[in-house]
Chain A
């Protein structure tokens, strides 16, 4: 069966905006994503090197606030929901496939290396910038946060600036 077409982008944006608004109304906070990865990292470090966990400065906010696992967090639950939601959407739209998506003429090896490198940069940057495209840029835009909007412009600005140099990854 052929995959169904994607939703009209403005309609999707409208619905996404409503989800974000409902989240702000109910919980007083926006959406997020990278924070959940940080919670996973924190819990792995806590499990494998608890001495280090106690000492490392960046983890201190966890150990001070809470004795529970870093995984019991709002963002981790939200991200689990994201997996379920995207999975449902994928099934409904016939888009479930186990495959590696890449630009034309890019080898599998290069794609894997660039995905890891990109992930590392994004993960690193999300901690420095206090949030990623979801938590800082999108949610920041909704509550008119100056910092969130600066982060948003920095993300897209730098991606545009670098795009030309890595064009071989994506276009012919």
Chain B
């Protein structure tokens, strides 16, 4: 599941990827004509709208791609970098950049491409941007207030507008296609060319324009992978078909005593509850976050068994069913709830004096087990802290 960095590719290899990505980026920008300053500014005077066409198409292709990957749970949207919104600096910075664009005739990315094929004006532009950034860093203390004002965090525009991502995408594609048609007419008029409205051309472009709409409609109307999994679980439950293997508290304690290294004891409650009290050796994987790829190592391995527990039966069972869908590992639910287990082992009632040997045996076993588990936890703590996995959020952006 993406993104592949940093879990699958290391930081150093990431730089190699950056270089390769850059080759593709530079190649395409040059092929599209972004290495020519007159072509770039054409859109502001109506004689060449290449920038708008390339830019919008690229943005839409990537955006729909992200939606598709998310739909099939191939990309964790919670981890990718979403540029944060700082309202005033975004507007003000954008306006200054716009002035730089129309006066200088480039933006940074396009100036690199133009310089690479020998455009002297682009090299000069790069020199200018070095100076501009230097000046910014020197006067930064004065601008810090504006720079940090109205921090809205990494908001997505669909959330801001209260739309579903698909609806927003649909709307954006609609605007883009409308813009493409309009600028084609403007471009031809300014250049005194005749617009080619022959049947094959119109048909071809209409067909191409329909593709993104169809894809978005399919994404919006078919259940995503996550919804699919949840529906499966609900169905299994309604039909009483769930095969949930349960494990009794005594058995769990015994196994932990003797084979703790073969067991993942997983607390699926919220982190606050986990921090307040959890069974010895338990790790915390809140049920709502089970799809985060950071936990994959629990659910896709085949060496250890997973034992889930929570305060009530339904939560633990839900987690167990989810785990069954996520991977091949063997999953069990603890029969007892957190409090029952705690009472059984750490606060047992003294059996009456006339209790049978069996009851006494269980009583002593539990007291011994409780002590062993606490010792185990203490001992293991020194080796490897029961892992609280940090999922690193990716840093990105251009600033």
Give min CB distance, B143 to chain A, whole Å. 7
Is the beta-carbon distance between B21 and A23 smaller than 8 angstroms? yes
CB distance B82 to A143 under 8 Å? Answer: yes
Interface size grouping (class) on chain A = 35 or more
Interface pair A25/B116, CB less than 8 Å apart: no
Q: Say which residue of B26, B126, B136 sits within 8 Å of A128 (CB atoms).
A: B136
Residues from chain A with Cβ under 8 Å of B133 in the complex: 34, 37-38, 41, 123-124, 126-127
User: For the complex, is B69 an interface residue (Cβ under 8 Å from A)?
Assistant: yes
Contacts of A1 in B (CB 8 A): none
Inter-subunit contact B157/A99 (CB<8 Å):
no
Least distance between B187 CB and chain A CB atoms (Å): 11
Q: Which of chain A's residues have a CB closer than 8 A to the CB of B14? A: 27, 74
Q: Could you tell me the distance in whole angstroms from the C-beta of B93 to the nearest C-beta in chain A?
A: 2
Q: Which of B107-115, B264-272, B307-315 contacts A (4 or more CB under 8 A)?
A: B107-115
Please tell me which stretch of B50-58, B229-237, B353-361 contacts chain A, meaning at least 4 of its Cβ atoms lie within 8 angstroms of it: B50-58
Instruction: For the complex formed, measure the closest distance between the CB of A60 and the CB atoms of chain B, giving whole angstroms.
Output: 10
Chain A 126-148 near chain B by CB (<8 Å), digits 1 or 0: 11111111111111111111111
A16 to B33, CA, bound (A): 13
CB of B306 within 8 Å of the partner chain: no
Number of A-B contacts (CB under 8 A): 578
Residue ID in chain A nearest B54 by CB atoms: A13
Whole-angstrom distance between the alpha carbons of A30 and B80 in the complex?
9
Q: Is the CB of A14 within 8 A of B58?
A: yes
- A102–B114 Cα distance when bound, in Å, is 13
Docked pose: A132 CA to B173 CA in angstroms: 23
CB distance from A90 to the nearest CB of B (A): 3
B101 touches A95 (CB 8 A): no
B65 contacts partner chain A, Cβ-Cβ < 8 Å: yes
Inter-subunit contact B2/A122 (CB<8 Å): no
Taking a contact as CB atoms under 8 Å apart, the answer to whether A131 and B399 are in contact is: yes
Is residue A47 within 8 Å, beta carbon to beta carbon, of the partner chain? no
CB of A57 closer than 8 Å to a CB of B = yes
Could you tell me if A56 and B32 are in contact, using CB atoms closer than 8 angstroms? Answer: no
Known: A29-B396, A128-B89. Is A16-B157 also a contact (CB below 8 A)?
no
A147 and B3 CA atoms in complex are apart in Å by 22
Q: Is the interface of A mostly helix, strand, loop or mixed?
A: helix
Q: Is the CB of A99 within 8 A of B124?
A: no
Residue of B nearest to A156 (CB): B98
Q: With A34-B399, A118-B104, A159-B101 given, is the CB distance from A124 to B83 under 8 Å?
A: no
| A85 touching B24, Cβ below 8 Å | yes
Nearest residue in B to A163 (C-beta to C-beta)?
B44
Q: In the complex, are the beta carbons of A83 and B26 less than 8 A apart?
A: yes
Contact present for A97 and B118 (CB under 8 Å): yes
**B109 close to A148 (CB less than 8 A):** no
Shortest Cβ distance from A167 into B: residue: B45
Given that A101-B38, A128-B93, A142-B63 are known contacts, is A147 also in contact with B26, CB under 8 Å in the complex?
no
A9 engages B54 (CB within 8 Å): yes
Q: Which residues from B are CB-within-8-Å of A79?
A: 22, 112
Instruction: Give the contact stretch, choosing among B146-154, B238-246, B295-303, B322-330.
Output: B146-154
> Assuming the A-B contacts A9-B53, A95-B117, A170-B45, are A127 and B23 also in contact, with contact meaning beta carbons closer than 8 angstroms in the complex?
no
- Can you name the residue of chain A whose Cβ is closest to the Cβ of B45? A171
Alpha-carbon separation in the docked complex, A170 to B47 (Å): 11
Is there an interface contact between B117 and A96, defined as CB atoms closer than 8 Å? yes
Chain B positions within 8 Å of A28 at CB level: 2-3, 5, 79-81, 394, 396
Provide a sorted-by-A list of 28 A–B residue pairs whose CB atoms are within 8 angstroms.
A9-B49, A13-B54, A14-B61, A20-B58, A27-B17, A27-B394, A28-B3, A72-B15, A77-B22, A82-B29, A84-B23, A86-B29, A87-B26, A96-B118, A115-B106, A128-B93, A129-B94, A130-B397, A132-B107, A134-B398, A136-B399, A143-B156, A144-B82, A144-B158, A147-B85, A151-B97, A158-B97, A158-B98
Q: Which residues of B pack against A, CB within 8 Å?
A: 2-5, 9, 14-33, 35-39, 41, 44-45, 47, 49-50, 53-63, 65-66, 69, 74-75, 79-87, 89-122, 124-138, 140-141, 143-144, 146-147, 152, 154-160, 165, 168, 180, 208, 394-399
Q: List 6 A-B pairs, minimum CB-CB distance, nearest first.
A: A118-B104, A135-B398, A81-B22, A119-B128, A129-B93, A154-B94
